[in-house]
A and B are shown apart, each in its own frame.
Chain A
Amino acid sequence: MAKRTTKKTTTKKTASRAKSAASADRDKKTQAKIVALADEIAKRAFSKKEPQLEIPTRSRSNTNWNKRKGILEMGENTSTRQLFDLKTAKQFMQTCLHASTIKDLIGADKTSSLRGVFYKAKHTVAGTKENTFDTQQESDPILEDLEVALGALREELHIFAENRGSMVGNITIVDKGDEIDCRRMGSGGYALPSIVEPDVIQFKKCEADFVLHVEKGTVWNRFNEDRFWEKNNCILTHGAGQPPRGCRRLLQRLNQELKLPIICVLDCDPWGHYIYSVIKQGSISLAFESTRLAIPQAKFLGIRAKDYKACGLDEAVKIDLTDTDIKRANDIAAYPWFEAKKHWQKEIHLMLDNGFKMEVESLITKDISYVTETYVPERLAAKDWLD
Chain B
Amino acid sequence: MTETPAGQAADGPLLDSPRMAGSRSGKKRTSKRTPGKGASSRAKGAAGKTAASTKPSTKATAESMAAKQRDISVSEFFAKNRHLLGFDNPRKALLTAVKEAVDNALDACEEAGILPDITVVIEDLAEVPDDKPRKGKKAKADDAPAKKKGPASSSRYRLTVVDNGPGIVKKQVEHIFGRLLYGSKFHRLKMSRGQQGIGISAAGMYGLITTGRPMMIQTRPDRKKKAHHIELAINTKTNRAEVTQDIETDNFPQQELRALTAGTRALAAQGEFLSPVVYPTGTSVTIELEGRYQKGRGSVDEFLELTAIANPHARIVFVPPSKVSADEVDESGELLAPVEGAAPAPQKADETAVTSEQDGVVIFPRAVEELPPETQEIMPHPKGLELGILLQMLKETVAEKPEITLAKFMTERLSRVSAPSASKLCKQIGLTARTRAADVDHAAAEKLFNAFQDVDLPAPPTDCLAPIGVQQLLRGMFKGVRAEFFAASSRSPQIYRGRPFLIEAAIAFGGELKGDDAARVIRFANRVPLLFQQSACSSFKAVTETKWKNYDLQQPRGGLPVGPLVIMLHMASVWVPFTSESKEAIADYDEIRKEMKLALMECGRKLGTYLRKRQKMKRESQRRDVFERYIGEIAKAISAINETDTQKLYDALLAQAQQKTAIADQILDDEGKRIREQDADDEGVIIVETGVTARASSSLRTQDNDDSDDADTSPARKTKKKRIVKKKVRRGSTSTSKDSQLFE
With known contacts A35-B641, A38-B641, A97-B637, A50–B630 Cβ distance under 8 A: no
A42's partner among B629, B630, B649 (CB-CB below 8 A) is B649
Query: Once bound together, how far apart are the Cα atoms of A125 and B634, in whole Å?
Result: 11
Determine if B626 and A86 form an interchain contact, defined as CB atoms under 8 angstroms apart: yes
Answer yes or no: A119 CB below 8 A from chain B CBs: no
Measured CB to CB, the closest approach of chain A to B97, in angstroms, equals: 50
Chain B residues positioned under 8 Å from A90 (CB to CB):
626, 630
The size class of the interface chain A forms with chain B is: 20 to 34
Which of A6-14, A98-106, A166-174, A176-184 lines the interface with chain B?
A98-106
Q: Which of B613-641 contact A (CB under 8 A)?
A: 622-623, 625-627, 629-634, 636-638, 640-641
Report the contact-size class of chain B (Cβ under 8 Å from the partner). 20 to 34
Contact of A128 among B627, B629, B631, B640 (CB under 8 A): B629
- Alpha-carbon distance between A368 and B631 when the two chains are bound, in angstroms: 62
Interchain CB contact under 8 A, B638 and A42: yes
A45→B632 CA distance, assembly (Å): 13
Q: Are B638 and A92 in contact, with the CB atoms below 8 A?
A: no
A123 CB, nearest partner CB in chain B, Å: 9
Nearest B residue to A84 via CB reads B660
Contact A104/B656 with A85-B743, A125-B629 known, Cβ cut-off 8 Å: no
Cα distance A130–B633 in the bound complex, in angstroms = 12
Contacting pair B627 A84 (CB below 8 A): yes
Q: Which of B623, B625, B634, B642 contacts A92 (CB 8 A)?
A: B634
Residue B244 at the A interface, CB < 8 A?
A: no
Contact A83 B630 (CB under 8 A): yes
Among B638, B648, B652, which residue has the most Cβ atoms of chain A within 10 A? B638
A22 on the B face (CB < 8 A): no
Pairwise interchain contact B743-A39, C-beta atoms closer than 8 A = no
A-B interface pairs (CB < 8 A), number: 84
Residues of the A chain whose Cβ atoms lie less than 8 Å from the Cβ of B656: 45, 48, 50, 84
Q: Bound state CA distance, A132 and B642, in angstroms? A: 21
Q: Which of A41, A89, A128, A130 contacts B638 (CB 8 A)?
A: A41
**Bound-complex Cα distance A372 to B438 (A):** 119
Question: Which chain A residues border B623 with CB–CB below 8 Å?
Answer: 86
Please provide the chain A residues from 281 to 302 with a CB less than 8 Å away from any CB of chain B in the complex.
none
CB distance from A42 to the nearest CB of B (A): 5
Say yes or no for A363: interface residue by CB 8 A criterion.
Answer: no
Compute how far the CA of A45 lies from the CA of B652 in the bound complex, rounded to whole angstroms. Answer: 6
Q: Mark A3-40, 1 if CB is under 8 A from B, else 0.
A: 00000000000000000000000000000001101110
B632 touches A125 (CB 8 A): yes
Q: Does A96 contact B (CB under 8 A)?
A: yes
Q: Are the C-beta atoms of B660 and A93 separated by less than 8 Å? A: no
Partner of A126, one of B633, B637, B657, B660: B633
Other-chain contact of B633, A35, A84, A93 (Cβ < 8 Å) = A93
Q: Mark A125-160, 1 if CB is under 8 A from B, else 0.
A: 111101010000000000000000000000000000
Known: A42-B644, A92-B634, A96-B634. A84 touches B657 (CB 8 A): yes
Q: Please name all residues of chain B whose beta carbon is closer than 8 Å to the beta carbon of A38 when the two chains form the complex.
A: 637-638, 641-642, 644
Separation of A86 and B625 alpha carbons in the complex (Å): 10
Pair A103/B634 contact, Cβ less than 8 Å? no
Q: Is the CB of A99 within 8 A of B642?
A: no
**Given the interface contacts A83-B627, A130-B629, does A45 sit within 8 Å of B649 by beta carbon?**
yes
Instruction: Please name the residue on chain A nearest to B632 by beta carbon.
Output: A126
| Chain A 39-58 residues near chain B, CB threshold 8 A | 39, 41-42, 45-46, 48, 50-51
Does residue B653 face the partner (Cβ distance < 8 Å to A)? yes
Are B630 and A100 closer than 8 Å at their CB atoms? no
Assembled-state Cα–Cα distance A181/B263 (Å): 85
CA distance A37 to B625 in the complex (A): 25
In the assembled complex, which residues on chain A have CB atoms less than 8 Å from the CB atom of B660?
A: 84
Residues of B within 8 A of A37 (CB): 641
Specify which chain A residues have a CB less than 8 angstroms from the CB of B657 in the assembled complex.
Answer: 84
A126 contacts B652, CB within 8 Å? no
A51: contacting residue among B625, B644, B648, B653, CB under 8 A: B653
Q: State the main secondary structure of chain B at its contact with A.
A: helix
In the complex, chain A residues whose CB is within 8 Å of the CB of B637: 38, 93, 96-97, 99-100
- Docked complex Cα distance between A53 and B636 (Å): 17
* Chain A CB within 10 Å, residue with most, of B625, B630, B644: B630
List residues 256-307 of chain A with CB under 8 A from any CB of chain B.
Answer: none
A contact residues around B636 at 8 Å (CB): 100
Q: Contact check, B642 vs A89: say whether CB atoms are below 8 A apart.
A: no
Report if A96-B633 is in contact (Cβ < 8 Å); known contacts: A85-B743, A86-B743.
Answer: yes
Please, how many angstroms separate the alpha-carbon atoms of A127 and B642 in the complex? 25
Quick one: CB contact mask for B88-118 with A, threshold 8 Å, 1 for yes?
0000000000000000000000000000000
B634 touches A83 (CB 8 A): yes
B641 lies within 8 A of A92 (CB): no
Instruction: Report the nearest A residue to B625, measured CB to CB.
Output: A128
Query: A346 CB to closest chain B CB, in angstroms?
Result: 49
CB nearest to A42 among chain B residues: B644
Q: In the complex, what's the smallest C-beta–C-beta distance from B679 to chain A, in angstroms?
A: 33
**Interchain CB contact under 8 A, B630 and A92:** yes
Contacts of B641 in A (CB 8 A): 34-35, 37-38, 99-100, 103
**Which residues of chain A are near B629, meaning CB under 8 Å?**
125-128, 130
Complex CA–CA separation, A34 to B642 (angstroms): 9
Query: In the complex, which residue of chain A has the Cβ closest to the Cβ of B642?
Result: A38
Q: Chain B contacts of A89 at CB under 8 A?
A: 626-627, 630
Name the CB-closest residue of A to B633. A93
Known: A93-B633, A100-B640. A46 touches B627 (CB 8 A): no
Report chain B residues within 8 Å CB of A99: 637, 641
B625 neighbours in A (Cβ, 8 Å):
128
**Chain A 210-230 per-residue mask, 1 if CB under 8 angstroms from chain B, else 0:** 000000000000000000000
- Contact between A97 and B627 (Cβ–Cβ < 8 Å)? no
Docked-complex contact B633 and A125, CB < 8 angstroms: yes
A93 in contact with B652 (CB, 8 Å): no
**Cβ-closest chain B residue relative to A123:** B633
In the assembled complex, the Cα of A37 lies from the Cα of B634 at a distance in Å of 13
Assembled-state Cα–Cα distance A42/B630 (Å) = 15
Distance in Å: Cβ of A103 to nearest Cβ of chain B: 5
CA distance A50 to B742 in the complex (A): 12
Q: Which residues of B contact A85 (CB under 8 A)?
A: 743
Inter-subunit contact B630/A93 (CB<8 Å) = yes
Question: Is there an interface contact between A45 and B633, defined as CB atoms closer than 8 Å?
Answer: no
Neighbouring B residues of A51 by C-beta, 8 Å: 634, 653
Q: Which of B677-732 contact A (CB under 8 A)?
A: none
A50: B residues at CB distance < 8 A: 656
Binary flags per residue of B635-670, CB closer than 8 Å to A gives 1, else 0: 011101110100011001101110010000000000
User: Which single member of B622, B630, B642, B655 contacts A35 (CB below 8 Å)?
Assistant: B642
Q: Smallest CB-CB separation from A31: which chain B residue?
A: B641
CB proximity of A143 to chain B, nearest CB, Å: 14
How many whole Å from A227's CB to the nearest CB in chain B?
Answer: 53
Write out the residue numbers on chain A whose beta carbons fall within 8 Å of the beta carbon of B632: 125-127
B642 x A39 contact (CB < 8 A): yes
In the complex, A151 Cα to B339 Cα: how many Å?
Answer: 61
Q: What 6 pairs between A and B have smallest CB-CB spacing?
A: A38-B641, A96-B637, A100-B637, A93-B630, A38-B642, A100-B640
A-B residue pairs in contact (CB < 8 Å), sample of 28 = A35-B641, A41-B634, A41-B638, A42-B644, A46-B652, A48-B656, A50-B656, A51-B653, A83-B630, A83-B631, A83-B634, A84-B657, A85-B743, A86-B743, A89-B630, A90-B626, A96-B634, A96-B638, A97-B633, A97-B637, A99-B637, A99-B641, A100-B636, A100-B638, A103-B640, A125-B630, A126-B629, A132-B633
Q: A83-B627, A84-B627, A93-B637 are in contact. List 18 more A-B contacts (CB 8 A).
A: A38-B641, A38-B644, A39-B642, A41-B634, A45-B649, A46-B648, A48-B652, A48-B656, A83-B631, A83-B634, A84-B656, A86-B743, A96-B633, A96-B634, A99-B641, A100-B638, A103-B640, A125-B630
Q: A-side interface residues toward B, CB under 8 Å? A: 34-35, 37-39, 41-42, 45-46, 48, 50-51, 83-86, 89-90, 92-93, 96-97, 99-100, 103-104, 125-128, 130, 132
Q: What residues make up the interface of B, taking CB atoms closer than 8 Å to A?
A: 622-623, 625-627, 629-634, 636-638, 640-642, 644, 648-649, 652-653, 655-657, 660, 743
